[in-house]
Amino acid sequence: MSSLLRIAIADDHALFRQGLKSMLKLHEDVCVVTEVERAADLATALARTTCDVLLLDLQMERSSLVDIEALSKRVKVVVVTATELPADGVAALRAGAKAVVFKRFAIETLMDAIRAVADGHVWMPPTIREELTARLHEPVPETLTPREREIVRLVALGLRNAEVAQRLSISEVTVKTHLNNVFQKLGLRDRVELARYAIRIGLVGANEPAS
């Protein structure tokens, strides 16, 4: 990469921040422009400083999962965490993080993740990749009602809420209510994820028309 990558560090452990800055200084393609010790100060710090990548601890005075979605709209987020629970990593990626790196990894691994994210890619450890794949292939929970399954199928086929309502002879408000329940049950964020999920578990075929 020809340009210098501007890095922000958010972590509540001063020794870790200082050590990380020292190691990053050994790499000529990155520069630490700001550091933050509280998640509550992140938005203000990023508004005052132009940076490309945010190295974000997953747990400071609060869970950073609540901040990632908003932060990811202004900077590429690389979660750097001591927590190695695959579910936490998947949640961070779904919230908008572009990479998850465990703190026990070598600095070169972190640099690989930073450079990958800067180039527009997503980076994650094998354990999180396996968890993400498993979730995409898990069966539809039995808690989905027949009506919810029917709505998932139609939405996956590309129908809008109004079209689903017309097809099933129900109100559009009812469709929205069912969809909200489905998103919560399946842990999905939007209609694109829902469509991919429905294809992977066989509710619809990849090229099936909305007949």
pLDDT in tens, 126-167: 888 887 777 666 555 557 888 998 999 999 888 999 999 999
Q: Are residues 28 and 125 in the same domain?
A: yes
- Tell me whether residue 208 is in a domain: no
CATH number of 157's domain: 1.10.10.10
Tell me which residue range forms the domain holding 186. 139-200
pTM over the 0.85 mark: no
Amino acid at 125: P
How far is the C-alpha of 81 from the C-alpha of 76, rounded, in Å? 16
Q: Is the Cα dihedral 175, 157, 121, 139 positive or negative?
A: positive
Judgement on whether residues 50 and 95 belong to the same structural domain of the protein? yes
Residue 175: Cβ within 10 Å count: 24
pLDDT band at 85 (very low <50, low <70, confident <90, very high): confident
CATH number for the domain including 110?
3.40.50.2300
Tell me the two tokens of residue 69: 């979605």
The more confident residue out of 116 and 200 is 116
Structural domain count, the chain: 2
Nearest by Cα to 55 from 85, 4, 92, 3: 92
Residue 85 is assigned to a structural domain of this protein: yes
